[in-house]
Every structure is written in structure tokens, then in C-alpha cells.
Amino acid sequence: MEGQFAVERLLSADAAQEAFPCMDEVPTPWPEALSMCRAWASRNLGRHLEGYHLRDAAGRVAGQLYYAPSEHALVPYEIEPGVSVIYCEWIHRSHQKQGLGRQLFSVFEADMRSQGHKGILVEATDQEDLMHQRHYLARGFTLIHEAGHRKLLYLPLRQSQILVRPMAPRIRPRRGTPVEILVLTGYLCPFEAATQMLLLEVAREFGSRVTLRQEPLSPESLQRYGVADGIFINGRQKLSGGVTEEAIRQAIIEEL
């Protein structure tokens, strides 16, 4: 099976226009969000985003692995230079459990070794469909930090330990009106971006009772807020990707 697939590195803005094939598993209800994320990937390729695609014999992208060097990674951690930081990894459901995830990761790991990277970091989870930690523990990663569902794992390449620490969130909860909504738009995940776009529509219904501020993800926003993305309603992160319009409306009403 592995011989029918090839791993290629993303080297051009055109290749980035095929990014996030995870949204192609089913007809996506978020074409605008997917388009915006691919445009972001094209602009940031080679700095805040690098990656690999897995292609089948027909040329279709069947898997993805996106990462950035720690010097440019947009993640809520302070990390020493020379470390590879995985953003996300995915294999199409129809091709899972065929060794293709191992094939994709092996090419990535070999490249990071040849480039002299100290090791590989990934923020996994204990949630079944969201970068589950067991996949990385099986590859030799070890747990170095955890907070809630988030599990920070490290795989040494040429350095057994590295300096890394989570940033302190700097968004203070508040009460009262108008309700303040802060949207940190990262565009590293169409699933999250779609919810953020839906929020903008719902927030308009409340008129002057809601104030809305959008901030694009950047090194500066990471330092300012200590978090990489999310929707904060009166300083509380209450929504995640994939929630319904009614759930967004209810989260705002609760603050009113």
C-alpha cells in the first residue's frame, strides 16, 4: 500500500492551495473558511508554516503534516530555537490503518534529522479525533506538559531535553455590558475558522450590546494574549470549532 503513495514537501504557494485536504473528506459546509485558510497558508509558507502532503497514485492529496521551526511557530509556548513544532497531522479516513501515517511521519522525521533539528514537539490531546497522544507515544514521544485535554509531547533527535514552557494567558475575565468578544483568527484550521466566521454574523444581531474585536494570529498577538487562537466572550473562552449558530447565540446571551 505504501508504494502507491508518495510524500512531497510543500515548496510553493500553488502547493499550499491544496492545503487542509482534511476538509475534503466530505463536502465541506465551510468553503469560504477553507479558502481563507489556504490563502493564509500560501502567504506564510516558508516562515510560519511548512509541511508535507501524501499523494495517492491519482495525484490526490490523501494526508497532511504541517509544522514550523520553533523560532517561527505560532503556538502558545516559549521554545528554544532549533526545534520542529508540529501543528497538525492527518490521513484520509479511507486510508487509515494502512501504515501511511507512519510513512508520512518517517519522511518528516528523517528530514528534520538531516537538517540538524534538536527534536520534535507536538501538542496532542486525549480526544479521539483530535491528534490523539497515543499515536505519538507509539513513535517514541514522551509527555513533558499537560493542561486539561492538551498534552505537550517531545521526541528527541539530537538533544534529549529542551527548554519549553507554556505562555501565561493574559486575557482577563470580566462581567457587564457591552459584552466584549475577542476573536483570535489563526487560519491554521478551517474547522475553527468557520466557527469564527459564523460568530461574526451572530454578533451583529445584538447591536450595541456587543463589541467585537478581531486580531490575526502573529508573534505579536501571541506575546500580547498568551494564547494562539480562540473566541473569548468577556474574557472567557467559551466556544470551539464546529459549534452551531444557536450555541454561539446562547453563549452571548449568557453574558448579557
CATH number for the domain harbouring residue 20: 3.40.630.30
When divided into structural domains, the chain yields a total of 2
Which residues, 6+ apart, have CB-to-CB distance to 229 below 8 Å? 184, 185, 186, 188, 189, 192, 217
Both 58 and 141 in a single domain?
A: yes
- CB-count exposure of residue 126 (10 Å: 0-12, 13-18, 19+): middle
CATH number for position 188: 3.40.30.10
Which residues, 6+ apart, have CB-to-CB distance to 223 below 8 Å? none
pLDDT in tens, the chain (256 residues): 556 899 999 999 888 899 988 887 665 667 888 888 899 999 999 999 999 999 998 888 999 999 999 999 999 999 999 999 999 999 988 788 888 999 999 999 999 999 999 999 999 999 877 789 999 999 999 999 999 889 999 999 999 999 999 999 999 998 888 999 998 887 788 878 888 888 888 999 999 999 999 888 899 999 999 998 888 999 998 877 777 889 899 989 998 8
Both 31 and 59 in a single domain?
A: yes
Both 48 and 140 in a single domain?
A: yes
Both 87 and 196 in a single domain?
A: no
CB atoms near residue 199 (< 10 Å): 23
Both 54 and 123 in a single domain?
A: yes
Q: What range does the domain containing 83 cover?
A: 2-166
Among 29, 66, 21, which Cα is nearest to 46's? 66
In a domain, residue 192? The reply is yes
Both 203 and 91 in a single domain?
A: no
In a domain, residue 96? The reply is yes
Both 114 and 144 in a single domain?
A: yes
Q: Summarize pLDDT for 1-42 with one digit per residue, the tens.
A: 556 899 999 999 888 899 988 887 665 667 888 888 899 999
